[in-house]
Amino acid sequence: MSLSSCYHGADVFCRPEPDCCDLGFPDVDLNGSAAPTPESTLRAGLDVKTRKKYMYAKKKAFALFVKDLRSPSASPPTVRDGFTKWKCCGHEFRDLRTIHKHVAAQHATEVLQQTGSLLEESAATSLPRSDYSDNNTNASTHMSWSNHKVSDWLPDMKCYKTEAPTSESGEVLLYYSYCDISDPQWVCDWQRTLCELLHLTGKIRIASEGINGTIGGNRVSTRLYMDTMLSHPLFKQMCLDDFKRSDGGAHCFPDLRIGVFREIVPMGVDPQKVSYKETATHLTPEEFHKRVEWYLSDPQEEKDTVLLDCRNFYESKIGQFQNCLAPDIRKFSYFPNYVDQNLDFFKDKTVLMYCTGGIRCERGSAYLRSKVISSFS
- Dmax over CA atoms of the chain, in Å, equals 64
CA 335 to chain CA centroid, Å, is 21
What lies within 8 Å, CB to CB, of 292 at 6+ separation is: 307, 321, 352
**Helix (H) and strand (E) counts in the chain:** 13, 11
Give me the catalytic one of 20, 195, 239, 355: 355
Identify any residues that bridge with 178 across adjacent strands, giving them in sequence order.
Answer: 210
Q: How confident is the model at residue 217 (pLDDT cuts 50, 70, 90)?
A: very high
Reported confidence tier of residue 186, pLDDT bands at 50, 70, 90: very high
CB 176 within 8 A of CB 210: yes
pTM as predicted: 0.60
With a cut of 70, say whether residue 253 has pLDDT above it: yes
Q: Give the alpha-carbon dihedral of 153, 159, 161, 162, to 10 degrees.
A: 10
Is residue 157 pLDDT above 70, yes or no?
Answer: yes
Q: Which sign does the torsion angle of CA 107, 108, 112, 115 carry?
A: positive
Name which residue leads in pLDDT, 329 or 34: 329
Q: From start to end of 208-300, where are the E strands?
A: 210-218, 244-248, 256-260
Q: Which of 34-38, 281-285, 314-318 comes out lowest in average pLDDT?
A: 34-38
Q: Give the per-residue pLDDT at 88.
A: 92
Angstrom distance (rounded) from CA 288 to CA 13: 10
Q: How far apart are CA 40 and CA 284, in angstroms?
A: 13
Collapsed DSSP state (helix, strand, coil) of residue 233? helix
pLDDT at 185: 95
* CB-based contact 98:114 (threshold 8 Å): no
Cβ atoms of residues 278 and 332 within 8 Å:
no
pLDDT at 188 over 50: yes
Give how far the C-alpha of residue 309 lies from the chain's centroid of Cα atoms, to the nearest Å.
18
Confidence of residue 244 (pLDDT cuts 50, 70, 90): very high
Q: What is the pLDDT of residue 173?
A: 97
What DSSP designation does 183 have? -
**Contacts of residue 258, Cβ cutoff 8 Å, sequence gap at least 6:** 188, 191, 192, 195, 203, 204, 206
pLDDT at 12: 55
131: left (phi over 0), alpha (psi -120 to 50) or beta: alpha
- What letter would DSSP give residue 110? H
| Residues pairing with 19 in the sheet | 16
Query: What pLDDT does 165 receive?
Result: 52
Three-class DSSP category at 303: helix
Bond before 271 cis per omega within 30 degrees? no
Residues contacting residue 288 through CB under 8 Å, at least 6 positions apart: 15, 20, 22, 352, 354
Where on the phi/psi map is residue 90: left (φ > 0), alpha (ψ -120 to 50), or beta? left
Residue range 210-234: mean pLDDT, rounded: 94
Residue 357 contacts residue 176 (beta carbons within 8 Å): yes
252, pLDDT greater than 50: yes
How far apart (Å, rounded) are the C-alpha atoms in residues 377 and 373?
5
Set out the domains of the chain in order of their start, with CATH numbers. 4-38+281-376 (3.40.250), 56-126 (no CATH), 161-260 (3.30.70.100)
Known catalytic membership, residue 355: yes
Residue 49: strand, helix, or coil? helix
pLDDT at residue number 235: 92
Look at residue 221 in the predicted model and tell me its pLDDT: 92
